[in-house]
Amino acid sequence: MDRRAFLYSLQGGLGSIAFSSLLAAEETKNPAKGPHFPNAKAKHCIFLYMEGGPSHIDTFDPKPELDRLHLKEFVRKGEDQSAMSSGKRYFVKSPFRFRRVGQSGATMNVLWEELAKVADEICFYRGLQVESVNHPTANYHVNTGSKFGGDPAVGAWVNYGLGTENDDLPGFIVLPEISYPQGGPANWSNGFLPTQYQGTALRPVGSPLLDIRPPEGVTRTQQRRNLDLLKMLNERHAQRHPQHAELIGRLRNYELAFRMQMQVPQIIDLSRETQQTLDLYGIGREPTDNLGRRCLLARKLVEQGVRFVQLYAGTWDSHDYIERAHGALIRAVDRPIAGLLRDLKQRGLLEETLVVWMGEFGRSPDNGVRGGIKYGRDHNPSAMTVWLAGGGVRAGTTVGATDEIGQSAVEEVHHLRDFHVTLLRLLGLDDNKLTYYHAGRFKQLSQFGGKVIDGIIA
């Protein structure tokens, strides 16, 4: 029997079960734990997620043609106009002014006052397209590569592939707002990967983690003895029931939580930061205090070796009053994000830290007229702007383009899976090699492969 026939015969009976079990155990036991491309500059990632879908037309990709077409009727080709909830559709011009900034001549809404000063650190990408127009499925798609939820998040894949640089902290930390994004914690799930790769969410108010400090009257020695007893009992159970693999993950989480009680309180304490640093992020003033604190915390986390930090800022879902809504949001995030880039560069961390800014989709050049100046924009999966900085990115460039009204990407057009593959490549990981055996096949972030967007990489 030749090799092909032998492998084919394993598809039936106990042979396939044993063979699959062997592969699964080996893949679980021996993940990559290091870059496939040792020369990659990025060692960490800070992912700034603008939940709700920021309008590319009103932030970084102006469309003067919309000034001429403003309030003229717009019919989307190939769509049933009667099915639209808003009835007739009309072109909507941007209410914002734009300018070119930096030596690169990047185009920005004038409200980006601080970000404009670091524009030459940024690579703007205008060619990305996604699939879903619904927030939960679109969030899942961007965060996990799957529109249905249940798959590992990008941060979980990075954590799985590179491992942690600090055994006392999780490798993947999430900094959400009080209101979680649509889709909830599944946006930072470990999916089918072992539980230690899931995102750990720190609460934005109060104690970032419940029970981060030991109960009053309980010493570290007592905690250590309790954990040792629990470990002994669990290990006995695991020997009798080796099929309960999740028990090992639970033991690891207990140990990690114990170690985090020493590390986290020091990291989240901003009282030791200089006033200059607090001012850099807009901490202590409105409307920048909220995101400013989380951006500073993100810097401190990557400084301590956390692989992947994701921040959420929303909501950018401006169906109405886009001038007021997007204007307020830009003012709230401008200084904190620019401060983050400056701080990382001053500390020599920007070169090894990949910073990503994006939402779940772009927005349309049209909307229904809802009275007065109540103009907004709808969801648009065919055109959006994302930007990247640091970590081997081709800084000071704009890659790709959308059509004259911002409806669709027309240059350097790539599907989301290609963007995911590119993010992994910047971090030294090969999507085709970063796999995990689950449900009968090897799975990967891109689902079934993708192409690196070369224009983004320096």
pLDDT at 261: 60
Q: How confident is the model at residue 85 (pLDDT cuts 50, 70, 90)?
A: very low
* pLDDT (tens digit per residue) in 185-230: 999 999 999 988 999 998 766 555 545 556 666 676 766 676 667 6
245-265: per-residue pLDDT in tens?
Answer: 666 666 666 556 656 665 666
| Across 44-53, 132-141, 220-229, least confident range | 220-229
**pLDDT confidence of residue 393:** 97
For residue 30, the model assigns a pLDDT of: 39
pLDDT (mean) for 158-178:
90
| Both tokens assigned to 245 | 């693999």
Residue 230 domain-assigned?
no
Mean pLDDT within 14-42: 57
- Which CATH number characterizes residue 112's domain? 3.40.720.10
Domain that holds residue 422: 31-209+287-456
Render pLDDT for 276-303 as a digit per residue (tens, 0 to 9). 999 999 999 999 999 999 999 999 999 9
Determine, yes or no, domain membership for 298.
Answer: yes
Looking at the predicted structure, is the pLDDT value of residue 16 above 50? no
Tokens of residue 451, six digits: 């192409």
Burial of residue 374, with CB atoms counted within 10 A of its CB: 0-12 exposed, 13-18 middle, 19 or more buried: middle
- The answer to whether position 272 is within a domain reads no
119-131, pLDDT tens digit by residue?
999 999 999 999 9
Residue 278 maps to a domain: no
Q: What is the mean pLDDT of residues 76-92?
A: 59
Look at residue 357 and tell me whether its pLDDT is greater than 50.
Answer: yes
pLDDT tier for residue 17 given thresholds of 50, 70 and 90: very low
List Cβ neighbours of 125 (8 Å cut-off, separation of 6 or more). 385, 386, 387, 388, 398, 399, 400, 412, 419, 453, 455, 456
Residue 15 lies in a domain: no
Q: With 0.75 as the threshold, say if the pTM is over it.
A: yes
Question: Is 124 within 8 Å of 399 (Cβ atoms)?
Answer: yes
Please give, one letter per residue, the 3-state secondary structure of 238-280.
Answer: HHHCCCCCHHHHHHHHHHHHHHHHHHHHHHHCHHHCCHHHHHH
Is 22 part of a structural domain of the chain?
Answer: no
Residue 254 is predicted with a pLDDT of 58
Q: What is the pLDDT of residue 3?
A: 52
Residue 374's pLDDT is 75
Q: What is the reported pLDDT for 244?
A: 63
Tell me which of 88-92, 313-317, 333-337 is least confident.
88-92
What pLDDT does residue 270 have?
A: 84
Q: Is residue 23 part of a domain?
A: no
pLDDT score at 71: 87
Per the structure, how many domains does the chain have? Answer: 1
Residue 201 is assigned to a structural domain of this protein: yes
